[in-house]
Amino acid sequence: PENYQVNFTHPFRDTATTNSSYCACAIDFIAAFLYLLQRVYTATVIVGRWHSDDYMILTAWLLTTVDQFLILHCLIKGVLGVHTWEISLEDAIWETTLIHAKTLTVLPGTVLAKLVLCIFYYRLSPIVWYRYAIIATSVIIIAAFSAVWFTVQFACSPISAAWNLRLYTGTNRIDRPPMYMLQAIMGGVTDVMLMVMPLPIIFRLQMSWKHKAALIAWFGTGFSTLGAAVARLVILIPSLKNSNTTFVLGQGTLWLIVEANLIIICGSLPTFRVFLNHVAPKILGESASRTGDGNRGTPPARMRYALRTFGDSQPKRRHFDTIDELELGDRPYGSEMRWKVDTDETGSA
């Protein structure tokens, strides 16, 4: 810019965004990791078996963690959150390489985390139209993010021009900001779809409206990821006509860090109530007393595990009746065990 004193040695840095990114990564990453730990504990100790969605959320966490480390590396090295005209060509190539790798890493992680929720929603009810809607949502998620992934990877000719600025001629690649905007848009759209899908099942639950409202609020935590996607989109829209991409993307990646961790938290929530029932039953109003047999690992007196198999003669139910059954479902967790309240058992103990 005119009258701007360029300083390659000590370039101007967006310290507010950089410090916010450090704080967001520290706080959100720890929160996401703790939620993931409770899901791993639930699958390993409480249920005693891992299922496909457990492996998927773990893989998603690994991918989003790599994504965050790439962003932090760019910020620490001073190639992100700085003006484009104050970094050398070598630094610019390094920045585009890491941002390219970051995008290719976070996209499959986002897809896996969203598919974990789709799997959970699919198990909520055997209603045919509902399950077809969940399948359609899953297909849209996979197709949309796959399109963005392949567009990012093959946006240039040759392909290496996507990160090697020496090969850039001005006409041999697609601009990156629109692709990042498309990623944010599809993330927001799929978040809305995932929040709307379980509502018909929730309304059919045989529970008070107070509990239904609490359950809707629980599912509504997905609005947090939607908010992060919208914030990132608002930041990226001005970048369409802004050549100072390294500075603008620094602000956008801040919200990408927030969104990536929130996705992991939302993907780990389906087992959270089961975890609380196990480690702190009083929080959910369950009795913490034990039966008098003295066996280790015996569940609370008012709770028991009901074993069910695929050959069970009991008729299939069209929907669940309680919040515990909704969260455990018939599969995968409910196929091995399901919490059931039995007040008569307290008297017989």
Q: Give domain status of residue 170, yes or no.
A: yes
Question: What is the count of structural domains for the chain?
Answer: 2
Over 80: is that where the pLDDT of 215 sits?
no
330, 344, 345: which is closest to 125 by C-alpha?
330
Confidence of residue 176 (pLDDT cuts 50, 70, 90): low
Summary mean pLDDT of the chain: 76
Query: Quick one: 296 and 267 in the same domain?
Result: no
Tokens 């496909």, residue? Answer: 52
Q: At what angle do helices 272-279 and 15-41 cross, to 10 degrees?
A: 60
The residue among 1 and 212 whose pLDDT is bigger is 212
The angle formed by the CA atoms of residues 113, 53 and 318, to the nearest 5 degrees, is 105
Domain boundary among 249, 275, 301: 275
Question: pTM for this structure?
Answer: 0.76
Tokens for 100, please give them.
Answer: 């390219």
Query: Quick one: 45 and 166 in the same domain?
Result: yes
Q: Is the peptide bond before 158 cis (omega within 30 degrees of 0)?
A: yes
Q: Give domain status of residue 66, yes or no.
A: yes
Query: Quick one: 265 and 136 in the same domain?
Result: yes
Q: Average pLDDT in the 156-164 region?
A: 79
Query: Quick one: 130 and 268 in the same domain?
Result: yes
Distance CA 345, CA 306 (A): 13
Query: Quick one: 174 and 43 in the same domain?
Result: yes
Q: Give domain status of residue 6, yes or no.
A: no
Note down the domain range covering 99. Answer: 15-275
The reported pLDDT for the residue numbered 285 is 55
Q: Is 338 left (phi over 0), alpha (psi -120 to 50) or beta?
A: beta
Q: Give domain status of residue 201, yes or no.
A: yes
Distance CA 108, CA 63 (A): 8
The reported pLDDT for the residue numbered 313 is 45
Confidence of residue 172 (pLDDT cuts 50, 70, 90): low
Query: Quick one: 178 and 30 in the same domain?
Result: yes
Query: Quick one: 257 and 296 in the same domain?
Result: no
The reported pLDDT for the residue numbered 130 is 87
Question: At 221, which CATH number?
Answer: 1.20.1070
334, 304, 330: which is closest to 319 by C-alpha?
330
Domain boundary among 223, 242, 275: 275
Q: Give domain status of residue 68, yes or no.
A: yes
Q: Give domain status of residue 280, yes or no.
A: no
| Residues 289 and 298 sit within 8 Å (Cβ to Cβ) | no
Over 60: is that where the pLDDT of 241 sits?
yes
Query: Quick one: 317 and 196 in the same domain?
Result: no
Q: Give domain status of residue 2, yes or no.
A: no
Tokens for 293, please give them.
Answer: 């047999």
- Contacts of residue 63, defined as CB under 8 A and 6 or more positions apart, other chains included, come to 105, 106, 108, 109, 112
Distance CA 260, CA 67 (A): 9
Query: Quick one: 241 and 300 in the same domain?
Result: no
Query: Quick one: 268 and 295 in the same domain?
Result: no
Over 80: is that where the pLDDT of 223 sits?
no
Cα torsion 327, 331, 333, 334: sign: positive
Query: Quick one: 253 and 317 in the same domain?
Result: no
- Contacts of residue 95, defined as CB under 8 A and 6 or more positions apart, other chains included, come to 74, 79, 80, 87, 246
Q: Tens digits of per-residue pLDDT, 34-90?
A: 999 999 999 999 888 899 999 999 999 999 999 999 988 888 888 888 887 878 888
Confidence of residue 1 (pLDDT cuts 50, 70, 90): low
The reported pLDDT for the residue numbered 109 is 93
Domain boundary among 275, 304, 333: 275
Q: Give domain status of residue 281, yes or no.
A: no
The reported pLDDT for the residue numbered 327 is 47
Query: Quick one: 262 and 124 in the same domain?
Result: yes
